[in-house]
Chains A and B, each alone.
Chain A
Amino acid sequence: MNNKKRVLAHIRNSAIIRNPLLFEAVGLCPVVAIATSLKSAALLALLTALEMIICEVFASLFLKNVRRYIRVALYFLLGIAVIFPIMAITKRFIPSLTVDFGVYLPLMAVNSLIALHCERIAVKRKVKNSFIDAVSASFSYGLTAIATGFLRELFGNGTIGGHEINIPVKFSALLLPFGGLLILGFLAAVLKAFIAKAYPDMSPDYSFDTSEVRRSLRGSLRELMNDDFNPYGEESDIIPEGAVYIKKHAPKHAKKIRMTNEDTIKITDDMVKAIKEADENQNDTDGKKSRKKLKHKKINRKKEKSVQKNLTPTVDETVLSMPDSEMPQDSGERTYLDDFSDMLSELEDYKNRVSADADGSADKDADRASEGTDVGGEEE
C-alpha cells in the first residue's frame, strides 16, 4: 500500500508539480517549433516518450558506474539510435511529416529533458523507479505538447486534426515559435493556479530556482569558472538550509533582519568557510589577533580602540558594518566574505523593501478606508 502511495506521489510530482515543460522549462525547443498541430504534437509526444523510456531504462541498467562525461555522450548516441530509424521510416511512409518536422527531428536526439531525467533519476535509482519516472514525465510532457499543438492548430489554423472549424478569427502567428511559448506560458499559469488550489502545501517554484538572478555578473573569468555549475539541479554541493544556518551561526544578524527559515538564501561550501572564519574571529576573546591584523592593515588608533572595545565581533560587525576604507585591502580581490556580506545586505534590502511596501499598502488601505467613510458621511 505504501509502495502504491509512493508511486502515486512520484507520478504526481513528476507530472504536475515538476512539470518538465511548464515549470522546469526543459525540452522546450521541439514543442515550440514542431507542435503546431494536433497530429505533429501527438507524434512528438510519442517519440519523446519512446526515447525517454529507452534512455532512462538503459541508463538505470548499465550506466550507473560509467563516468559522467561518457554518460552524456551515450545519451546522445541513444537518442540517435531511437530517432534516426524513425526519421528513415517517416521519410519513406509519411514524407509530409518529415517536411513538417524539418531540421527539428534529428535535433530531438539532444533533448535536454532526457539528459536531465537520466542524470537526476535513472543513474541513481532502480530500473522500476526509473521506468515510472520516464513514463510519468513523458506523459506530462506529451500531454502539454498535445494541448499546445491543439490550441495552436485551433486558433492559428482554424482546424482540429486537419478538419476545418469555423472560428471567427485566426491568429496564424501562433504557428511561429513565439506562439508556442505564449501558449506554454498561459498553460503554466493555469496549472500553477490549479496546484495552488489542489495542493496548497506544494509549490512548483522549487523546480526553477531564481535565487541567483538578483546577483550581478561580477568577478573575473577565472572566478566564474570556479563557481559551482548545477543548472538542472541533478547534483548539488549547496547547503539548502541557508537561513537556518545563518540563524545558527550569525544569530544577531538574522535577528536584526528578522530572518525566517522560509527566506530563500543559499550558502555554498565557500560561504560556510567564510562564516566559520567569522565565527573564529568572534571567538577570539583576547582580541590580540584581530588587533594585530588591524595594525597590519594600517588602521588608525582611534578606530582600533573602538574595535578593541567590541572584542566579540559578529558577522555583520566584521563584514557589513566595516566601512570600505577599513576593509582588508592587501589582496585586492573579492573574497567569499564579500560575497556573503553582499548576499546578506541584499536580503536585508529586500526585507526592508517588503516591510516598506507592506506599510505603504497598509497606509493606502487606511487612506481608502478613511476616504470611504468620508464619502459615506457626505452621502449620509
Chain B
Amino acid sequence: MSWFLQLVSASFYVMLIQNLIFSGGYGISEAVRMSAKPRQLLPLALFIAYFSTTVSVACALLDLIPFVNALGELAHAGIFSAVLLLIYLITMTAVLIYGKIKPRTIRRIGIAAFNTLVLAVPFINYRSAFTVYEAVGSGLGAGAAFVIAVLLISEGLKRLDMNRSVPACFKGTPSLLIYTAILSMAFAGLAGQTATM
C-alpha cells in the first residue's frame, strides 16, 4: 500500500503544492499558448502526461543502476535527454507503423515531447531522490499540473478578452502575463516559496 501512497503524494506535490508550471515556470510558454486553444487541451495533455510519465519512469529505473547513479549532473542531463529522444522516436515509430497518422498528431507529439515541463520531471526526480513509484506519480502529476494551469489561464483569458474595461495597451498578452503572474503568486504562497537573496 505504501507504493500507492508514494505515487499519490508525489503526484499531488507536483500538481498542487509545487505546481511545476506556476511555481517553477516549467512549460509556461506551452500553457500560456494553449490557454488560447482550449479545445486542444485534452489531446495535448494526454501526450504530455504520457511523455512525462514514461521519461520519468525510465530515468528513475536507470538511476537504480549504481554506475548511472554515481554520475554527475551533466552526465545525468545527457542521459535524461537521450531517454526523452529515444522515447519520442519509439512513439513516432509506433504511430507511423499504425499508419493513420495525421500532420496535426505529429505536431501534438512534437510539442508534447520537447518542452521544458517534460524534461524537467526527471531532473526534479533526481534532485528529490524520488523512488520509481514517486517518479510515476510526478510524471502523471506533471500532466495534471499542465491541465490545471491551462484551464486556469484559459478561464482568465476568456474573461480578460470579454472585459471591455481593460485598457487598450493591456489587452491581450500584457494582461494575460499579469494574470498568470498572480496565479503563480498564489501557488508560490501555497508552496511557501521564499526568494533567496
Contact = CB atoms under 8 A, between A and B. Distances in A.
A188 B77 contact: no
A76 B114 contact: yes
Given A192-B169, A208-B36, A209-B36, 20 more contacts: A29-B26, A32-B28, A33-B25, A76-B85, A106-B80, A113-B29, A115-B114, A156-B195, A176-B184, A176-B193, A177-B22, A178-B188, A179-B195, A192-B170, A208-B173, A213-B154, A225-B105, A227-B104, A229-B43, A229-B108
B27 interface: yes
A279 to B, nearest CB: 26
B9 interface: no
Nearest to B82: A80
Chain A contact residues: helix, strand, loop or mixed: helix
Interface of A: 22-29, 32-33, 68-69, 72-73, 75-77, 80, 84, 87-88, 91, 103-104, 106-107, 109-110, 112-113, 115, 156-157, 172-182, 184-186, 188-190, 192-193, 196, 204-205, 208-210, 212-217, 219, 221, 224-232, 235, 357
Interface string B160-194: 01101001111111111110111011001000010
Interface string B93-113: 000000000111111111101
23 contacts: A27-B29, A29-B116, A69-B92, A106-B81, A176-B184, A177-B24, A178-B184, A179-B181, A181-B25, A181-B178, A182-B178, A185-B177, A186-B174, A188-B177, A208-B172, A208-B173, A210-B157, A213-B38, A214-B158, A224-B39, A226-B102, A231-B33, A232-B33
Contacts of A29: 25-29, 116
A212 B85 CA distance: 32
B181 A227 contact: no
B161 A72 contact: no
A110 B38 contact: no
A72 B114 contact: yes
- Of A28, A184, A205, most buried by chain B (CB within 10 Å of CB) is A28
B88 interface: yes
B69 interface: no
A23 B108 CA distance: 22
Contact of A84 (B23, B78, B84): B78
A229 B104 contact: yes
Nearest to A106: B77
Contact of A357 (B80, B164, B174): B164
A28 B32 CA distance: 9
Nearest to B154: A213
B38 A192 contact: no
B135 to A, nearest CB: 16
B24 A84 contact: no
Contact of A172 (B154, B174, B195): B195
Interface in B3-57: 22-30, 32-44
B173 A181 contact: no
B190 to A, nearest CB: 12
B15 to A, nearest CB: 17
Given A110-B115, A112-B29, A69 B106 contact: yes
B33 A225 contact: no
B49 to A, nearest CB: 14
A27 B124 CA distance: 20
Interface of B: 22-30, 32-44, 74, 77-78, 80-81, 84-85, 88-89, 92, 102-111, 113-116, 118-120, 123-124, 127, 154, 157-158, 161-162, 164, 167-178, 180-182, 184-185, 188, 193, 195-197
- Of A24, A32, A75, A213, most buried by chain B (CB within 10 Å of CB) is A213
B161 A231 contact: no
- Of B22, B185, B193, most buried by chain A (CB within 10 Å of CB) is B185
B193 A172 contact: no
Contacts of A72: 110, 113-114
Given A192-B172, A192-B174, A213-B35, A32 B88 contact: no
Nearest to A70: B92
A196 B30 contact: no
Contacts of B24: 33, 177
Cβ-closest 10 pairs across A and B: A185-B177, A181-B181, A185-B178, A178-B184, A72-B110, A188-B174, A189-B174, A229-B104, A32-B25, A106-B77
Contact of B173 (A106, A156, A188, A232): A188
B120 A103 contact: yes
B116 to A, nearest CB: 5
Contacts of A80: 78, 81
B80 to A, nearest CB: 8
A355 B166 CA distance: 18
A73 B74 contact: no
Nearest to B111: A231
